[in-house]
Structure 1
Amino acid sequence: MERQRLDKWLWHARVVKARSSAAALVEAGHVRINGVREKAPGHGVKAGDVLTIGLDRSVRVLKVVGFSERRGDAASARVLYDDLQDGQQ
């Protein structure tokens, strides 16, 4: 898999609890891909893309490193991205 829908990736990476919440987050303009605001939940993300996600009272900066066919537990979700705020590159 080279690309995945933005809303599906956010859900698989456990950034949000429901795929509909991921779609709403994107449509509200709270997600940027490589610095560009994205409002289409179906936009494809690829490995290497940097997502800036505005959540309730925080901002997460995640680099896409993988994809999943289905949503797994927190440990399997953690391998889908590098958290750039942890100082990891």
Structure 2
Amino acid sequence: MRIDKLLWQLRLVKTRSIAQALVGQGHIRRNGQRVVRASQDIIAGDTLTIPLPGGVQVIEIAALPTRRGPAAEAQACYRVLDPTRQTAIAGQKDQSPERGQLP
């Protein structure tokens, strides 16, 4: 299945054109390798790293969807690998203790 169609059917993006733009910008990775074209095939078991407005999401594809159905049906097709969804954006305050202080 094409990656742009997969992202749309899994309800990770609203339209296929948005998915194609994400791929075109070179921000999506499949099994650690950058995806360079929207027609890239995805199979069950692949790991995708996707930058979304809420942060970077890492998912494992459990099954390929057959349609763009309800959200519950779409979520059953993948597993989130980083459930804490911590952002790695520069400038955010770090929660680590100050130098010289004990944790």
Give the TM-score normalised by structure 1: 0.88
1:66 to 59, 63, 72: 63
Which segments of 5 or more consecutive residues in structure 1 lack a partner in the other structure?
Answer: none
1:5 Cα deviation after fit: 0.5
Mapped partners of 2:65, 2:43: distance in 1:
12
Number of residues paired by the alignment?
A: 84
Task: Look at both structures and tell me which one has the larger radius of gyration over its CA atoms.
Answer: 2
Contact 1:27 1:39 (8 Å CA) reproduced:
yes
For 1:11, the aligned partner's letter is: W
1:12 Cα deviation after fit: 0.6
Mapped partners of 2:53, 2:5: distance in 1:
20
Contact 1:30 1:55 (8 Å CA) reproduced:
no
1:39 to 27, 32, 36: 36
Mapped partners of 2:67, 2:54: distance in 1:
28
1:81 to 65, 78, 88: 78
Instruction: Identify the residue that residue 50 of structure 1 maps to in structure 2.
Output: 47
Give the TM-score normalised by structure 2: 0.77
1:56 Cα deviation after fit: 2.7
Which segments of 5 or more consecutive residues in structure 2 lack a partner in the other structure?
Answer: 85-103
Mapped partners of 2:55, 2:34: distance in 1:
17
The answer to whether the aligner puts 1:6 opposite 2:9 as a matched pair is no
Would you tell me which structure has more strand in proportion to its own residues?
A: 1
For 2:56, the aligned partner's letter is: V
1:77 Cα deviation after fit: 0.5
Would you tell me which structure has more helix in proportion to its own residues?
A: 1
Secondary structure, aligned partner of 1:70: coil
1:29 to 8, 26, 31: 26
CA RMSD of aligned residues (A): 1.3
Cα 1:86–1:57, aligned 2, differ >3 Å: closer, same or farther? Answer: closer
